[in-house]
Structure formats: C-alpha cells, structure tokens
Amino acid sequence: MADFRVRVSTEAFGAGTRDKVSVSIVGTREESPPMPLDNLGKEFTADAEEDFQVTLPKDVGQVLLLRVHKAPPARPLLRSLTPDAWFCRWFQLTPPQGGPLLFPCYQWLEGAGSLVLQEGTAKVSRADHHPLLQQQRQEELQARQKMYQWKAYNPGWPHCLDKRTVKDLDLNIKYSTAKNANFYLQAGSAFAEMKIKGLLNRKGLWRSLNEMKRIFNFRKTPAAEHAFEHWQEDAFFASQFLNGLNPVLIHRCHYLPKNFPVTDAMVASVLGPGTSLQAELEKGSLFLVDHSILSGIHTNVINGKPQFSAAPMTLLYQSPGCGPLLPLAIQLSQSPGPNSPIFLPSDDKWDWLLAKTWVRNAEFSFHEALTHLLHSHLLSEVFTLATLRQLPHCHPLFKSTGIGIEGFSELIQRNMKQLHYSLLCLPEDIRTRGVEDIPGYYYRDDGMQIWGAVERFVSEIIGIYYPSNESVQDDRELQAWVREIFSKGFLNQESSGIPSSLETREALVQYVTMVIFNCSAKHAAVSAGQFDSCAWMPNLPPSMQLPPPTSKGLATREGFIATLPPVNATCDVIIALWLLSKEPGDRRPLGTYPDEHFTEEAPRRSITAFQSHLAQISRAIQERNRGLVLPYTYLDPPLIENSVSI
C-alpha cells in the first residue's frame, strides 16, 4: 500500500462544482482503482487549492498518467441545485518517495465522465517511449478529432469548425462567463443609445455633415477625434495607408501601370519644379495602393437601394527628407478613359474629396473582407482547429501557442487564389512591398520588433525540444498539423507557398512565429483601430449609395452627403466596429500565460525572457509616442491580446 498526496487547483468565478471527483493513478505496472477525493465539507471551490490523501492498494510502478473521474452527487437535491461544469487548473501528485508531479489540466469538465492527464513535461511524440503514453496521445487526438470536425462554409473559403451556432460550442472554446456578459452589456447599451437618439431605425440620408456629429459623439477616442479634425487633409488621408486599420496594401511603385495613365503635367503642382514622374520612380519615392480585387464585385442592397463599389488606384509621393506622404492621383476604376477621369489635388475641393472618400470606402471593403475577416479570423480559426485536432496537450507547440455577404464571399474566394505565405510573414511582406525605408511607418517599425521578439522566443522553445532537423521531420504530430493547415486552410494550393511539411528547425521557427504573430499582433494592428477610423463616418464609409463619378466638376456638398450610407446603416456599422475594437474583459496580453502548461525550468526561463523583451519594446513605443501628434498604440505589447479574442 502507498499513500499519495493530491493537491487540486480550481479556476475562479463560477468554476467550482459539487460533483464527486475521484482519480486513478496509471503506472508502469498497473492502474489503481478510482480513489475518491473527499474531505469533510465542500470540495472544489472556485479559486481554491485543496489537499487530499489517497491510499493505493498496490504499487502501480512509475507514475505515467492520472485519470480523473467526475460524477454527479448522490443526492438528487444537490444535482438539481448545482451546475456540474468544473474548470480544473491542475493536479499535483506527490508519491511516497520523490518530488511532486504536476498534471496541467486547464479545461472544463462537463457532466459525468473521465479525463486522462499526462505529467506536465512537454514532449514530442518520439520522446514518449512507453506504449501507454503513445496510446494516450493517439486516444486524445482521436477524441478531439471527433469533437472538432471541419466543414466547408463557402466554396473557395478556408474550412472551419463544423458547428451551427455559438451555443453548440463546448465550454473549452467559448468566451468565459464574464467576457460573454460584458460583450452583451456593451452591445445592449450601444444600441439603446442610438435608439434613444432616434438614429438606429432611420433609413434616410444624413441631413448634413454637422448632423453626423450626433453619432460621432457616441464614443469618442483621441484617435477618432484626430480623424474628425483632419479627415479632409491629404497628409492624413495618405498616412492611413501606413498606420490606419489597413496598413498592408501600400507598395513601392517602380513603374506606372499601363491602365493608370498619370502624366507629368497632372502632378507638377505636388512634385514641384525640376523633377518628373520618371525621376521619382527611379528614386523610389512613389507608392501605389491598388484595390483592383474589388473590380466588378457584387454589391449589397440597403433599405431597398442598391449600393455601389469602386476599384480605385491611388498614386502617392513621399516628399523629400521627412516630409509627409501625399496623394498624387486617384483613378476610381481599372479601365482608363473618358468615363474614368484621374482625380488630382488641384481639382475642385468636392471632386477631390469625393475621390478620396471612394478610396476610403474601398479600404473599408478590402479591410473587413480580407485583412480582417480572412487573414486575421478565418485563417486563425484554421490554425486553432488544426492545433486542437493534431497536437496533444503535452506537445510543446500546443503549449505555445457595403459589398454585403455575397461580395465578401466573392472577395475571399478571389484573394484565396492570390494569398501567399510571404504575406503572412511580416519581414518578407515588408520586403516584397518595398516599404523598408518609408518614414513614419509605425505598423512596420513596431511589428518588426514584435516579430523579432516572438521569433526569438519560438527559436528558444524549438531548440529545447527539437535538437536537429531530423527531429522536426520525424515528428508525425507536427507534420500532421502542418499538412492539415495546408489542406483545410489553404485548400491544397501549392501556389500559396504555404508549406505542407517542414524539413528544418529554421522552417519550423518561421512557421510557428507566423502563426503566433498573425493570431496576436497582426490582428491587433488591423482590429483595434476599426472604431477610431470609422467613428467619423465620412473618413471610412462602409457603403456608397451613388455610383462613382464619371466626370469632374459635378461634385457638390449635397451630392457628397447623398453618396454616403444612410443613417441606420451608419449606426449598425459603427456599433459593430466599436464592439470589435473593444476587448470585453478577461484580457490576456501577448506573452501572458496564466495557464501554466510548461512545467520545466528551461521553457519557463524563455517565457520570462520573452515577457522582458516585450516590456522593453513597450517602453520604446511609449517613449516615441510621446513625441507624436497622433500616437500609434495598436502594437504596444500590453494592448495586444495573446490570441484573436474578438
């Protein structure tokens, strides 16, 4: 007979249970019978650690696994009064001889059933030599693959989790109770405020730009107020391609597209004397933003009225020294000609402002469908689902870790055919777009620092568990994870450049860095500023009610307002983007791991070093921001969520 001490930690806020819990200890010789964890009084209280002593009738040998059993209490009254779900943080098992063994859990146990836990040392599959441990890895993955299955939501989209509604999700992948309550409270208060103001259900046009201030006062931020004050200025318009909600499309222009026939005479007033377009192209001071993917896209119907879209091209000029980036010319279609004029800063005020506003509408459509939904949510779901299905809890990578619906779907299908691995790897993306040295590009500057910190952290973790390239190639769970992301997320498209297998430690480091960066920092950069950009709606109109202009000299204030979205549509989008920009509580900043899956000293040291590196980056960002008229805060590490959380 052997006495073991068992210590159990329960999560806070509604995570306790009155159900009966017992454990079986699985050893190299045999498995013990279930042993109740039962003290006098109430056990498994929220935010508590409790100690128990159990006696094994026989020596089970070296401990391999801990099997946890949960069953409802015997008395019917307790069964009816108490929710049965229990969130267990961990079990600590102390044998008669030797040190304590920690079994991380960090998951909900619902209803009656059993859960098998492995001691917390992270191991790749080749490191678990005992047949029982190998069998447990396989059974864990088989159970998760049965629970989390794929489905094709739309043709040409990345595959996603096969569930109909949020209610069908199990507790382990749902919002916490506190987070869920905060989200719906925020949504309710926002809709109520708009309804009281008489705006929520009003389908007509805005009466004036001044009237739009009623919705602008809804929830103001310093960045939103800056947009309101400067939205008509060319320098602010251009700066949003660098540090706004879609800072990923601008690229250096080495030659003018044939379908964008800008001439020297058109841009002389901005370039000034003694230079030309060709000279500036050779100097590398011209940049292009091309929304060609929007050409001919299906548009929505709002309040019974068809909406309109444009596929503009915008030419920008980086003025000498540290001067501002400025727009040179805008064409609102991909087909030049008499009905597609090139708009210029020297045009009539309303012509030029309307052209810039069409570009901002294109930015909204591109951003929401592709940069935000596809790249930051749908692909992140692929990474997450493949992780749940292919990596057991003990694996070290598991531990690290206006156009309407039809138009959105069409855009995603188009972009999936163009999407390349280099776009998801920030250093390669910056090089490919040729924007390494454009000044004032804080998304690039801060993003590169964070990419570097994540890469260093990942490299240290990979170095602990993968001593050679061969160890990467031989990890069948890792290779299944990569293969499933390639097939379900990128639809087996070799043209995407996404690897279907990994051959070296270097490739593995880049791949894991890409996953972490896109699910945390990249999402923060393109999500947190949504409300800041759209709170003053003319700066980022979600839809346009009149077609793009086909000639100059006809735009007026009244026509400009008539082109903008109606009142109720404005309210709906601004409320939605406010909610999507606001973390509803239960925050976990990048580098914060309250679920302590790693138990070894080496990865813990790496986590501490990663946190220190992020803190250093944060201090540098905050110091720089003190000197900026409009601080760039979206990639300040304490403001970045560890994952796509909203």
Binding-site residue numbers for Fe cation are 372, 377, 523, 646
Q: Considering just the CA atoms, what is the radius of gyration of the chain in Å? A: 28
Structure token digits, residue 114: 């059993």
The two tokens of residue 644 are 């796509």
Whether the Cβ atoms of residue 383 and residue 489 lie closer than 8 Å to each other: yes
Q: What is the per-residue burial (b if ≥16 Cβ within 10 Å, else e) of 466-494?
A: beeeebbbebebbbbbbbbbbbbbbbeee
In angstroms, the CA 373 to CA 306 distance is 23
* Rama region for 113: left / alpha / beta (φ>0; ψ in -120 to 50; rest): left
Number of H helices, E strands in the chain: 23, 17
* 2-10 vs 49-56, strand pairing mode: antiparallel
Instruction: Count CB-CB contacts under 10 A for residue 413.
Output: 14
Length of the chain: 646
Give binding residues for Ca(2+) as ranges: 14, 16, 38-39, 84-85
> Can you say how many angstroms the Cα of residue 555 is from the centroid of all Cα atoms in its chain?
39
Are the C-beta atoms of residues 554 and 567 closer than 8 Å to each other?
Answer: no
Token output for 120: 């917390």
SS3 label, residue 162: coil
Q: Which residue, among 399, 295, 300, 376, has the nearest Cα to 340 in the 3D structure?
A: 295
CA distance 281 to 252: 9
Dihedral (C-alpha) 384, 387, 388, 391: value to the nearest 10 degrees?
-170
∠ CA 288-293-296 to the nearest 5 degrees?
125
User: For tokens 């087996």, what's the residue?
Assistant: 492
Say if CB 53 and CB 4 are below 8 A apart. yes
**Strand intervals (E) in 63-100:** 63-71, 86-94
**Cα separation of 401 and 478, whole Å?**
13
φ/ψ (deg, to 5) at 421: -50, -35
Cβ neighbours for 211, distance < 8 A, ≥ 6 positions apart = none
Pull the structure tokens for residue 550: 């086909």
CB atoms within 10 A of CB 306: 10
> Which runs of consecutive H residues, i.e. helices, occur in 466-529?
469-473, 476-484, 505-519, 521-527
* Token reading at 528: 């947190």
Q: Which residues are annotated as a binding site?
A: 14, 16, 38-39, 84-85, 372, 377, 523, 646
